[in-house]
């Protein structure tokens, strides 16, 4: 992404130089040569350069917007990981501290809560992470887009479901023999 932005900026600088040169040539054609054909040719070239400049500026704006979205996605990803881990660490601490003195099988609650925590940390941020990777265009073109992101989010959701099942088995049913 950075290389594309750098390339667009270089193209913009080169185009600005060409525009300045063409403007100078147009002025010369107007005031010195009085050649209408050359003047029309230079005006047509200048119009093409102006259009190319607008296209490059639009491309630059799109790249900058994409980079801002990626920054936002990274912040959201960090917030999701922090929130998820904080909530489930709090739940784990609550369950384990309230059950250990009274219940010798409290380890099941603890193990189930840790499975749930691990699955949640994998499931929730996985979609955001791979959306970021897709925007950075790190996948080959055939694999990029909604298909791979959806597949990876599905894997994360699968881990989440496994965590819920583990939580139910170990914490609620208290099945012995861990």
Q: Are 34 and 26 in contact (CB under 8 A)?
A: no
Note the pTM of the prediction, 2 decimals: 0.45
**Greater pLDDT, 88 or 51:** 51
Q: Are 176 and 105 in contact (CB under 8 A)?
A: yes
Q: Are 166 and 115 in contact (CB under 8 A)?
A: yes
Categorize the per-residue pLDDT at 178 as very low, low, confident or very high, splitting at 50, 70 and 90: very low
Distance CA 174, CA 178 (A): 10
pLDDT tops 70 at residue 119: no
Helix 146-167 × helix 106-135 angle, to 10°: 170
Q: Are 6 and 23 in contact (CB under 8 A)?
A: no
SS3 163: helix
């Amino acid at each position: 992404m950075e290389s594309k932005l750098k390339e667009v900026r270089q193209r913009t600088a080169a185009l600005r130089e060409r525009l300045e040169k063409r403007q100078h040539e147009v002025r010369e054609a107007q005031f010195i040569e009085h050649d209408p054909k050359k003047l029309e040719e230079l005006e047509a070239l200048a119009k093409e350069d102006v259009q190319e400049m607008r296209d490059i500026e639009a491309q630059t704006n799109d790249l900058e917007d994409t980079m801002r979205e990626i920054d936002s996605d990274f912040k959201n990803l960090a917030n999701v990981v922090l929130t998820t881990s904080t909530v489930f660490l709090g739940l784990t601490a609550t369950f384990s501290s309230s059950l250990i003195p009274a219940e010798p099988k409290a380890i099941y609650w603890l193990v189930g809560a840790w499975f749930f925590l691990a699955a949640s940390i994998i499931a929730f941020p996985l979609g955001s992470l791979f959306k970021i990777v897709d925007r950075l265009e790190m996948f080959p073109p055939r694999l990029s887009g909604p298909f791979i992101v959806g597949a990876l989010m599905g894997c994360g959701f699968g881990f989440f479901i496994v965590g819920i099942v583990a939580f139910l088995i170990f914490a609620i049913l208290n099945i012995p023999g861990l």
